[in-house]
Structure 1
Amino acid sequence: MTAFDFPAKLLELERSAWAALQAGTLTADQAGAVQAGVTAFAAEAGVDRYEVEMGLKRAVRHPEAAEG
């Protein structure tokens, strides 16, 4: 899988959504903001949105795996 250089804003959106999901407080607006960011990043980079989403989740949820 391709490694991406995610902008800080997109990483923060995913971190916030992940924390909210774990706490049971994730809102549709939060999830939608992450998806909009993923879609925009993928379009700008010219890559598959699914790969971007999986890379972003890996970077936030499993940073040790993303590094190695």
Structure 2
Amino acid sequence: MAELPDELIKLERTAEEERAKLAGLTGGEYDAQLRRWREASDAVQAAITAHAEATGAGPHEVGQAVQKAVRGSQEDPAVE
């Protein structure tokens, strides 16, 4: 796979950070954070789809490469 744009990596990191913030929340705080995570995840998916279309790569392939680049380079932000 060709090199991934920095923007894709940044978006995935943001989504992972928003996911990690769900830990320990309940009720309305959980619901609000869940919305933030979903919005971040939707932004990642839209960017992955756009990049795949622009490069002719498969969206699944691009998505896995982005996840590997982010998750392979850092520990899970939900685990402290």
TM-score (norm 2): 0.69
| 2:14 aligned partner | 16
| 1:45 aligned partner | 55
Structure 2: give runs of 5+ residues left out of the alignment.
Answer: 23-32, 75-80
| 2:70 aligned partner | 60
| Other structure's SS at 1:63 match | coil
The structure having more radius of gyration, on CA atoms, is 2
Equivalent pairs, count:
62
Letter of the 1:49 partner, please give it. Answer: P
| Other structure's SS at 2:47 match | helix
For 1:37 and 1:63, the matched residues in 2 are separated by: 20
For 2:48 and 2:13, the matched residues in 1 are separated by: 13
More helix by share: 1
After TM superposition, what 4+ stretches of structure 1 lie above 6 angstroms from structure 2? none
Q: Percent identity?
A: 32
For 1:55 and 1:36, the matched residues in 2 are separated by: 15
RMSD (Å) for aligned C-alpha atoms: 1.6
Tell me if structure 2 keeps the 8 A contact 1:11–1:56: yes
State the Cα deviation string for residues 16-68 of structure 1 (Å, max 9, x = none): 1011112213522211110000000000110110010011000000138xxxx
